[in-house]
Structure 1
Amino acid sequence: MPDDDIMTAVSAALAQGQAGDRAGARLALETLWDRTGTDGDALHRCTIAHCLADLQESVADELAWDQRALAAAGVLTDERAQQQDPRWTVQALLPSLHINLADAYRRSGRFAEARPHLTDAVAATCALPDDEYGATILMGIDKVRAALDAGSTAPLQP
């Protein structure tokens, strides 16, 4: 994999968040977002926004970052993604991005806006790898579908 200081810094911020310093991780990723810019590298924008969404304190802020991640994926190419990892395709990223949006809309009580993202996540599952990542996304789809069908706005249980 190529030496990419932004992606290396994203990994470090994720590790910081997983170690319990969510605020520090959020600040590190926000700094990377500012450095990348709203018109910067689509892979960087998609990755940073996707990670920042998970670190937000409010569902509204999470939703805004999830929307930014999906927008960046809309201009991301497989060629650029594969410069980072030869196994990556934009299509394989879409189920995760859509399910995150579906879940954030659901937790906001915006069920009608959640359903199309759930549908888009399911439609894109054909591109998921047959591995732990793919299984995790499929499980997430099932959980969001069940919560949406139940009319629940509660956070999903791990």
Structure 2
Amino acid sequence: MSDDIMARVGAAMRLDRAEARDALAALWDETEDPLPRCAIAHHAADRQDDAEAELAWDERALEAAAGLPAEQRDSFLPSLHLNLGDVHRRLHHVEAAREHLAAARANAHHLAQDEYGAMIRGGIENLARKLAGTTDA
């Protein structure tokens, strides 16, 4: 079942934004398995047109990741926290953004020394630069 759902997630990613949102929301309702749920929510967040909806899906992705075995979860955490930090920053939730930045940094050692790992580490440092000097006020 999980392989079928993951294949359908891939197919949904080839749809336009609105169709992808609908397809991913339907897939979310079809499974309780944390791995596809994490992937579904992660991709659904990227297809949202407003930051509040994106935040809700990013929070679902992090919640789903909690149900994964440690080694799977650990590999997702830097990216999930990076996404949450960025959306909180865009929503002017500076303290929450900083908390997720710290969590992304704390989990970055789980990233492989590959192109994906470099991309996430770069995103973490980019978020840090964007948050430098910002305040909650």
* Residue 11 of structure 2 is aligned to residue 12 of structure 1: yes
- Which runs of 4 or more aligned residues in structure 1 lie more than 2 Å from their structure 2 counterparts after TM superposition? none
% identical aligned pairs: 48
Aligned pair partner of 2:108 in 125, 150, 156: 125
Encode CA deviations 1:14-56: one digit per residue, 9 max, x unaligned.
122xxxx1111111111101212xxx00111111001100001
Offset of residue 89 of structure 1:
2.4
Distance 2:5 2:61 in 1: 16
Letter in 2 for 1:133: Y
Distance 1:149 1:95 in 2: 19
Distance 1:14 1:134 in 2: 22
Q: TM-score, normalising length from structure 1? A: 0.80
Cα-Cα RMSD? 1.7
Letter in 1 for 2:6: M
Equivalent residue pairs, number:
135
Encode CA deviations 1:57-89: one digit per residue, 9 max, x unaligned.
1100100110010011111115xxxxxxxxx72
Q: TM-score, normalising length from structure 2? A: 0.92
Please list every run of 5 or more consecutive structure 1 residues that lacks an aligned counterpart in the other structure: 79-87, 153-158
Q: Which residue of 1 aligns with 2:30?
A: 35
Offset of residue 3 of structure 1:
7.4
Please list every run of 5 or more consecutive structure 2 residues that lacks an aligned counterpart in the other structure: none
Offset of residue 120 of structure 1:
0.6
Change (3 A) 1:32 1:134: same
Distance 1:29 1:66 in 2: 13
